[in-house]
Structure 1
Amino acid sequence: MSHLSAYDWEAADGVCGGSPHLHLVCTEAYVVTAGRGAVQTLSPDGYRDIPLEAGALAWFTPGTVHRMVQGGGLRVTVLMQNSGLPEAGDAVFTFPPEVLADPERYAAAARLPARGGPEAEAAARRRRDLAVEGYLPLREALRAGDDGPLRDFQRAAAGLVRSRVPRFRELWEAGALAAARRTGEQLDALEAGDAGHLADATARTAGPTHHGGYGMCGRREEYELPGATLPYETSDPSDPSAATGPRGA
C-alpha cells in the first residue's frame, strides 16, 4: 500500500501524469481520495481512458499497461497484490523496443540515483518521458485495431524479469501463499470447534515510513512494514533487469 500524488509534469503529448508501465503477476488498484484525473489503460481488449475522482475505485490485472493522468489535485491510495513482489521488480516501463532489448540499457534508464532530491526528480522525469515515448506507438496501434505491438511489449517485459522469478516465488510463498494457508488452517480449526488462534488477536497501527518518494506515476508516501510491504530492493550487479527505486505506482 502507498499514497500517491500524481505527477503534474507535462509529457510530449501534452498530457500531465506518470510513467506508463505494466505488472507481470500483480493486480493493482487505485482508491481515489481527492482531486480528479484519469488512468489510461492498454490491454488486448483495447484502449481505455478511465475517469478518476474522489470515491472512485479502479483496478487492472497483470499485463495491463496503465498511465496515471493528472487532472487537478489527484491523490490515490494504491493497493498492490502479492505483498513484496511489486517492491522486488514486478513492473516494466513502456520504454522503446531498442531499450527493452538491452537489459543493461533498460536498467540504467529505469534506475533512480536516490530516493529524494533534485537528482532523483530529474531521473524520474527522464524515465517518465522515455516511457511515454514507447507508450504512444502502442496506444496508436491499439486504437487502429492492431494489438501486435502491445503483445510484443508484453513478451519483452516477461523476458526482462525472467531471471527474477525465483525471487518472486520466494516472496510469494512467504507472503501471499503463507497468508492463504494460515486462513485454511484457521478454517480447519473452526470446523473442528477449536478457537485457539483467537488468543493471538491484537491491533496494530503504523504510518508511512518514507515521504515524497518518486514512484512510477507520482510522489509517494511509502510503507515498509515486515509482513505487509517489504523494503524496495536495489539493483544486483549480476542482474541487469533489476532497477533501483520504487516499483509500484
Structure 2
Amino acid sequence: MSGGGHAAGVPGFPGGTAVSHLRVYDWPAADGQAGGSPHLHTASAEGYVVVGGEGALETLSGAGYARTPLRPGTLLWFTPGTVHRLVNGSGDLELLVVMQNAGLPESGDAVLTYPPDVLADPAAYARATAIPAWSDFADTATAGAAMARAARERRDLAVEGYLRLRDRVRAEGPGALAGLYEAAVRLVRDKAAGWHHHWERGPHAQAEATRGHVAGLAAGEGGHLRDSAVYTAGSPPGPRRNGMCGTLRVWDLDGAHPVSGQE
C-alpha cells in the first residue's frame, strides 16, 4: 500500500518511506464488518494518519488481539509480523499511509491471512492474490469491475482465515500465530534476497547521509547545506487502484523532481 523507489539523483521521501492515500473498502465481510484484507508485513513497519471517517484497526501480534478506534487525527503504527485488519465503521474511512522501506512491500513483503491450506501451497496463494491488470481489458469500466471483484474475493478469503486465527489467539494467546509466521517465511524466503536494494537505496542510504552530515557539522563543516533543494512528486493519472485494504492513490516517487527557483 505504498509507492516505489525514487528517481536517480533525487533523495527519497524522508526515512526511505512511501506515502499513499487510502480509501478503505466499504464492502461487508462474513462477520458483517466492512473493510480491508487482513495481512501482515514480514520486514516493514506501517503507519496511519486518519484524515476522514471513523472505524477501527483490529490487530493480532505478540501482544495478542487488540481493537484500536480510528477517528480523524488518530496516528498509529505497527511493526512487522502484526496482522492488521482495517474496519470501515462509517463507510468513508480515509487514511494517509506511511510505509517503511519504499518499494519492498510491492515486492512481496505482505502476506495475507488465507486459510492454512492456501498458505501452504505457493501456487494456490499466488492465484488467490492476483489482481487483473488494466491492460487485460478493452475498456476501463469492465477492467474496474473485474479488478474490484478480484480484490473482494481476495479480501473475503483473507477474512475467512483471519476470523479463525483471531478466535485461536483469543483462546490460546499469541502463540497461535506461530503457524502463520512459519507459512509467511516460506512464502517470502525465495524473494527476500532481492529486497536488499530497497533497503540500501532507501533507509540505509538516508541514515548514512545523516551520519555524514552530523560528522561534518561536528568538524565545523556544512557543505551539504549548499545542496539544499525542494522536491515534489505527483499522483499517477487515471483511476485509483485496488490495494489490500482499499482503493489507493499512490504518490509517484519514481517521478519525483526538484522544484526550480522562481522569482
Structure 2-normalised TM-score? 0.83
Q: Distance in 2 between matches of 1:194 and 1:42?
A: 48
2:204 maps to which residue? 177
Structure with bigger helix share is 2
Q: Distance in 1 between matches of 2:234 and 2:187?
A: 34
Aligned residues: 228
Structure 1: give runs of 5+ residues left out of the alignment.
229-249
Matched, 1:54 2:67: no
Query: Contact 1:175–1:227 at 8 Å: present in 2 too?
Result: no
Matched, 1:30 2:48: yes
Q: Distance in 2 between matches of 1:129 and 1:169?
A: 32
Query: Contact 1:22–1:66 at 8 Å: present in 2 too?
Result: yes
1:195 to 222, 226, 229: 222
- The residue type paired with residue 38 of structure 2 is P
2:155 maps to which residue? 128
- The residue type paired with residue 159 of structure 2 is V
- The residue type paired with residue 36 of structure 1 is E
Matches within 5 A, 1:72-221: 72=90, 73-114=92-133, 117-210=144-237, 211-221=239-249
Structure 2: give runs of 5+ residues left out of the alignment.
1-18, 135-142, 257-263
Query: Contact 1:16–1:70 at 8 Å: present in 2 too?
Result: yes
Matched, 1:42 2:56: no
Taking every aligned residue pair, what percent have the same amino acid on both sides?
52
Q: Distance in 2 between matches of 1:88 and 1:133?
A: 24
1:67 maps to which residue? 85
Q: Distance in 2 between matches of 1:226 and 1:197?
A: 23
Look up the SS of the partner of 1:31 in the other structure: strand
Look up the SS of the partner of 1:175 in the other structure: helix
Structure 1-normalised TM-score? 0.88
CA radius of gyration, larger in: 2
